[in-house]
């Protein structure tokens, strides 16, 4: 199923302007991974100042059935 997410993420990323170097939100609860992004960097943006980044990392990994924090550009990640 990960392959399907990558294909959809790549298509949506292209639709939204491709590689802008910034976090691109897709709807309200997903993000297309850009070059240089990590689960930790995405979680830090999602968490903001009031949430524990570690809890957000765990939630992202669980929502996306990730085995660790490895992601690739174009991958679509659901967000907590």
- In degrees and rounded to multiples of 5, residue 6 shows phi and psi of -65, -45
**3-state DSSP assignment of residue 24:** strand
Prediction pTM value: 0.65
What tens digit of pLDDT does each residue of 13-61 get?
A: 444 445 556 666 555 689 999 999 999 999 999 998 889 999 999 999 9
Say if CB 35 and CB 23 are below 8 A apart. Answer: no
């Amino acid at each position: 199923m990960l392959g399907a997410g990558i294909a959809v993420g790549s298509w949506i990323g292209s639709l939204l302007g491709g590689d802008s170097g910034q976090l691109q939100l897709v709807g309200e609860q997903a993000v297309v991974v850009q070059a240089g992004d990590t689960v930790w960097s995405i979680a830090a943006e999602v968490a903001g100042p009031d949430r524990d980044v570690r809890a957000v990392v765990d939630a992202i990994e669980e929502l996306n059935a990730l085995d660790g924090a490895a992601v690739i550009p174009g991958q679509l990640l659901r967000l907590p």
